[in-house]
């Protein structure tokens, strides 16, 4: 389940390789209530049940299990009668405006980071919960807190549990103690009772599908499994890594650049650089940084479309490739681009104010986005290598953004590293291998990754040595004049 749509994928495992087949797809349109944006979880659940029904109509008893992964930070609250207190809020809803300062008035920033190791982003669950405190009605009624995939699992099975990888995105979880950060929860004034559900581990069974849903869909048996329910955690599990530790960029709406470590890195340097320590499968740590990714293209295409410029991604890519290299660059993570009414206008205005000129035209702007993303990747990996002490000559780029061939090449050139691009369906594959583990077909993440490597063949992008000096100069300028 993504923030804009959901899919049900069938994974066919022959004992050696995995083949994926899309069974159903649906839109997850937000709804407005009381001036706020919410997820229509009831509509989503109806789509999920319909999709499971379609899968059973095709594969019947051959289906072993199902597992849900979603984005992080969003959650649902249930009352004492196990009823939703309200529809879950969307993480980009404006209710979090100002809540970071309100939290820091209660707790020093360093204390929050020291207990959780999570990067500060305005939509983190901790800041959403501060918004809840300002109204208080919902928290007074609440008895249970479930992250979005856990909420879906409860609707499917009646079992309440918080899967650990998604719980770690809240900035209310301690990755060292491996439990909720109750010191932070208490000092914020949040009710501790709502965090009393057990944790579920990726690769374990949550429970059987509820009898009434089985009857509704005509299903005899279906085991619901806890996968790595944060989609990034599933995506990283699905990386057929060429490095140790695993070094990756999960490229989608966000680009998550990081390494898979055995232990968290929580210190002054990682706080200063705003790196996060999210939990991965089998106790690993996803030490990474969020970079604004294909969001810039998605919103720019919307802006072009409204202006009567209908261009496919392929057409935009061709125009970007034809545009002059090393034009204007900007920081993809500037707050100006978080939720603009018009992304093209926002980028042009930002560049005009910062640099005295703007990238005009579809191709020029698209190239500016790609080169800026590639330079941000290069910058982040230099910091990442300094913080971890690991320096790799290769990076895996996975997810939907790995289909962008020119961006992959720019990333290789900017980082001067070999890029292994793919699989695009890394999240589905990571989800699946945790189901294989729950079924006893494999025993470890390592074994699952070997199956993924046998199932897909990444495309290789070697850095252009002849362009190394130009990219090095561009990176130096980017770090000095853009990121200042």
> Which of the residues are catalytic?
231
Q: How far apart are CA 412 and CA 41, in angstroms?
A: 40
Q: How far apart are CA 253 and CA 339, in angstroms?
A: 13
CB 320 within 8 A of CB 406: yes
Q: How far apart are CA 274 and CA 117, in angstroms?
A: 9
Compute CA distances 5 → 16, 28, 70, 125, 250, whole Å.
30, 5, 10, 21, 18
CA proximity to 35, closest of 90, 104, 115: 90
CB neighbour burial string for 137-150, b if at least 16 within 10 angstroms, e if fewer: ebbeebbbbbbbbb
The helix/strand count (H/E) of the chain reads as: 19, 20
CB 394 within 8 A of CB 417: yes
Check the CA dihedral 26-27-28-33 and report its sign: negative
Instruction: Identify the H or E element spanning 54.
Output: helix 41-59
CB 60 within 8 A of CB 217: no
Alpha helices in 190-263 (DSSP H): 211-217, 231-237
Collapse the DSSP code of 74 into the 3-class scheme (helix H, G, I; strand E, B; otherwise coil) and give the result. coil
What DSSP letter does each residue of 173-198 carry, written as one string?
EETTTTEE-HHHHHHHT--GGGG-SP
Instruction: Identify the H or E element spanning 95.
Output: none
Say what angle helices 313-322 and 362-388 make with each other, to 10 degrees: 90
Q: How far apart are CA 261 and CA 245, in angstroms?
A: 6
């Amino acid at each position: 389940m993504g923030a804009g749509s959901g899919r049900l994928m069938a994974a066919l495992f022959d004992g050696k390789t995995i083949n994926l087949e899309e069974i159903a797809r649906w839109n997850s349109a937000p709804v407005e209530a009381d001036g706020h944006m919410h997820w229509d979880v009831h509509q989503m659940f109806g789509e999920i049940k319909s999709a499971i029904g379609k899968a059973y109509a095709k594969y019947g008893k051959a289906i072993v299990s199902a597992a849900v992964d979603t984005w992080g930070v969003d959650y649902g609250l249930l009352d004492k009668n196990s009823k939703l207190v309200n529809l879950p809020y969307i993480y980009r809803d404006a209710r979090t405006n100002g809540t970071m300062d309100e939290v820091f008035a209660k707790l020093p920033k360093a204390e929050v980071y020291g207990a959780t190791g999570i990067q500060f982003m305005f939509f983190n669950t901790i800041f959403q919960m501060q918004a809840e405190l300002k109204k208080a009605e919902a928290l007074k009624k609440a008895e249970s807190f479930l992250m979005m995939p856990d909420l879906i699992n409860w609707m499917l099975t009646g079992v309440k549990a918080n899967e650990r990888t998604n719980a770690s995105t809240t900035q209310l979880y301690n990755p060292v103690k491996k439990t909720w950060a109750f010191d932070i929860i208490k000092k914020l004034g949040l009710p501790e009772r709502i965090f009393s559900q057990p944790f579920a581990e990726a690769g374990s069974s949550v429970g059987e599908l509820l009898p009434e849903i089985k009857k509704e869909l005509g299903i005899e048996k279906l085991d619901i499994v806890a996968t790595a329910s944060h989609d990034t955690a599933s995506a990283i599990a699905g990386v057929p890594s060429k490095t140790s530790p695993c070094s990756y960029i999960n490229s989608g709406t966000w680009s998550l650049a990081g390494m898979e470590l055995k232990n968290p890195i929580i210190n002054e340097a990682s706080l200063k650089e705003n790196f996060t320590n999210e939990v991965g499968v089998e106790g690993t740590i996803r030490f990474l940084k969020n970079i604004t990714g294909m969001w810039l293209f998605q919103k720019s295409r919307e802006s072009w479309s409204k202006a009567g410029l209908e261009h496919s991604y392929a057409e935009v890519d061709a125009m970007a490739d034809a545009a002059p290299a090393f034009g204007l660059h900007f920081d993809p993570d500037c707050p100006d681009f978080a939720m603009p009414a018009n992304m093209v206008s926002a980028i042009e205005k930002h560049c005009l104010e910062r640099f005295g000129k703007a990238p005009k035209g579809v191709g020029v702007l698209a190239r500016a986005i790609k080169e800026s993303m590639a330079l941000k990747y290069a910058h982040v990996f230099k910091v990442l290598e300094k913080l971890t002490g690991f320096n790799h000559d290769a990076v895996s780029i996975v997810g939907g953004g790995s289909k962008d061939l020119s961006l992959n090449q720019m990333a290789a050139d900017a980082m001067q590293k070999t890029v292994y691009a793919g699989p695009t369906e890394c999240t589905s594959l990571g989800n699946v291998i945790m189901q294989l583990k729950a079924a006893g077909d494999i025993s470890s993440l390592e074994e699952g990754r070997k199956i993924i490597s046998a199932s897909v063949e990444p495309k290789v992008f070697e850095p252009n040595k002849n362009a190394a000096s130009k990219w090095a100069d561009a990176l130096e300028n980017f770090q000095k004049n853009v990121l200042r």
